[in-house]
Amino acid sequence: MRYDFIGDIHGYAGLLEQILFKLGYQTEGESYVVHEEDCKVVFLGDYIDRGPQNRRVIEIARSMTEKGRAIALMGNHEFNAICYHTLRHQATITYGSTHPKIQSNTRLSSVNIKSIQRNW
């Protein structure tokens, strides 16, 4: 079995697609496949934040995982976004052990969740 490890995508779907093409994957609908049956991508997390295509990155990782072509692990950016949105009623909470609810984290979490929720 060949495993292709990809991490720290941070919302750059175009770059992710370039990496997948270089590794021999081809588009199949909304997903990517490689014609070697014993090949799988391991996504190492940090799908969101920084780049403009958070939703598309998640769509790619999700579709590949659902087809059995990938394993998707949660990164600290996803963990922080989930904590922010599930624990937001506690204004003084520190989550992810290193990321307090400061304005930059609040903005990133708010923007990411809104962009992902649209038309889902």
- Dihedral of the CA atoms 74, 78, 80, 82 (nearest 10)? -100
Number of folded domains that form the chain: 2
Do 12 and 30 fall within a single domain?
Answer: yes
Task: Specify the pLDDT at position 117.
Answer: 58
Do 68 and 80 fall within a single domain?
Answer: no
- The range of the structural domain enclosing residue 51 comes to 2-72
| Helix or strand (DSSP H, E) at 4 | strand 2-6
Residue 112 tokens read as: 């990411």
- The pLDDT tens digits for 4-44 are 999 999 999 999 999 999 999 999 888 898 877 789 999 99
34-38, 109-113, 114-118, range with greatest mean pLDDT: 34-38
Task: Specify the pLDDT at position 113.
Answer: 57
The reported pTM is: 0.74
- The pLDDT tens digits for 43-83 are 999 999 888 999 999 999 999 999 999 999 999 888 888 87
Residue 8 tokens read as: 């720290």
Coil, helix or strand at residue 43: strand
Do 31 and 63 fall within a single domain?
Answer: yes
Q: Are 61 and 47 in contact (CB under 8 A)?
A: yes
Do 12 and 62 fall within a single domain?
Answer: yes
